[in-house]
């Protein structure tokens, strides 16, 4: 049975740089406040029109395909991870197929938010191992800037997120012990609402009594059109930051250790840890828990913010491009996000 290897990798971020000082113009915040809590100095925002989750994904895909030494016509399956698709439906995968003029191949969209890329990579790994596909394009892309609350009310969330995309091409390898060694996926839906975007949605009958008690029956019945939905900021992302932090610093190290244990390796065997770029403080805490030196952990949230499904492939590309990942290195990817979902992937490069 072949393993899947990353044969090519690419990334794309928009040209527009938005600094913390820029955000001071729209909300009560400061560069010092943002950096102290998140480590972020700046992020990228896509153009309001003409630059979408799909178009960013396509640009990252073009580079990944080029670096794999193949053409778009050789891709035989697409897996697209995002929380911000161009349309409510259809998903972005089919739009990539159209934009890149690929054959009538299959496309799968993954909606696991910050863990989306690790989940998508795991799915692609299984397809390669089964022999079903030979060249799988895996994309993580998100455009947050179109849907954030740029008022003081929404600053705890809005200062964190940015736009961008990353992509890899998976191919089979017969080299024993090479490529993706294992992936490990988990979820716990008990805290789903503490990191969520509630509307638009069809959830009212399920948890309205607890979460939407301020809405009357008429408002609930017209949830998609109600001004109350907007007035109560139900159409913006909600995050209980401290609760997410407390959970992430436990689950990310657990996922890393699970991957190492499954392959009879130790933390000292990790050459590069690429954590989801949610918050620099989370990454630093995880690094401390695992006892890893600075040279073995890659962070770029300072420049891009949290790009959700794109954060791991963007960081992976930059670490590789900077020569910090070399052949035969043990690379661990680890994520945690909304759901809650979390996971890890262990790779021998």
Residues with catalytic annotation? 114, 276, 306
SS (H, E, C) 275-301: ECCCCHHHHHHHHHHHCCCHHHECCCH
Q: Strands 42-45 and 179-187, how do they pair?
A: unpaired
34-44 burial code (b ≥16 CB/10 A, e <16): beebbbbbbbb
327 within 8 A of 271, measured Cβ to Cβ:
no
- The radius of gyration computed from the CA coordinates of the chain, to the nearest angstrom, equals 20
What are 39's two structure tokens? Answer: 């480590």
**CA 282 remoteness from chain centre:** 15
What are 59's two structure tokens? Answer: 């640009």
> What counts of helices (H) and strands (E) characterise the chain?
13, 13
**CA 179 remoteness from chain centre:** 21
DSSP type of residue 15: S
DSSP type of residue 306: B
3-state secondary structure of 76: coil
d(CA 347, CA 333): 8
Which run of H or of E encompasses 64?
helix 53-68
Contact partners, residue 63, CB within 8 Å, separation at least 6:
8, 9, 10, 11, 12, 167
Residue 136 pairs in a beta bridge with: 77, 170
d(CA 85, CA 308): 13
Q: How many residues does the chain have?
A: 349
């Amino acid at each position: 049975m072949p393993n899947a290897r990353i044969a090519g990798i690419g990334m794309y971020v928009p040209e527009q740089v938005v600094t913390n000082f820029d955000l001071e113009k729209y909300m009560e915040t400061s560069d010092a406040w943002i950096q102290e809590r998140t480590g972020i100095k700046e992020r990228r925002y896509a153009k309001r029109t003409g630059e979408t989750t799909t178009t960013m994904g396509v640009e990252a895909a073009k580079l990944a395909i080029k670096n794999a030494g193949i053409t778009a016509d050789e891709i035989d399956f697409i897996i697209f991870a995002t929380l911000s698709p161009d349309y409510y439906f259809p998903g972005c995968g089919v739009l990539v197929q159209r934009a890149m003029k690929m054959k009538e191949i299959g496309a799968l969209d993954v909606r696991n938010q910050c863990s989306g890329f690790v989940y998508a990579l795991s799915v692609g790994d299984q397809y390669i191992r089964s022999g079903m596909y030979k060249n799988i394009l895996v994309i993580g892309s998100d455009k947050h800037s179109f849907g954030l609350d740029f008022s003081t009310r929404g600053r705890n969330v809005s200062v964190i997120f940015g736009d961008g995309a990353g992509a890899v091409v998976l191919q089979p390898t017969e080299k024993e012990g090479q490529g993706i060694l294992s992936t490990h996926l988990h979820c716990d839906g008990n805290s789903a609402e503490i990191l969520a975007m509630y509307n638009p949605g069809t959830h009212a009958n399920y948890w309205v009594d607890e979460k939407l008690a301020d809405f009357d029956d008429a408002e609930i019945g017209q949830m998609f059109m109600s001004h109350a939905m907007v007035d109560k900021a139900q159409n913006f992302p909600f995050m209980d930051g401290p609760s997410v932090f407390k959970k992430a610093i436990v689950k990310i190290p657990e996922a890393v250790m699970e991957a190492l244990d499954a392959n009879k390796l130790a933390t000292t065997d990790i050459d590069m840890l690429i954590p989801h770029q949610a918050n620099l403080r989370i990454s630093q805490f995880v690094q401390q828990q695992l006892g890893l030196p600075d040279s073995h952990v890659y962070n770029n949230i300072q420049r891009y913010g949290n790009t959700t499904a794109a954060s791991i492939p963007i960081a992976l590309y930059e670490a590789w491009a900077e020569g910090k990942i070399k052949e035969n290195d043990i690379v661990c990817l680890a994520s945690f996000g909304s759901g809650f979902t979390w996971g890890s992937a262990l790779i021998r490069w």
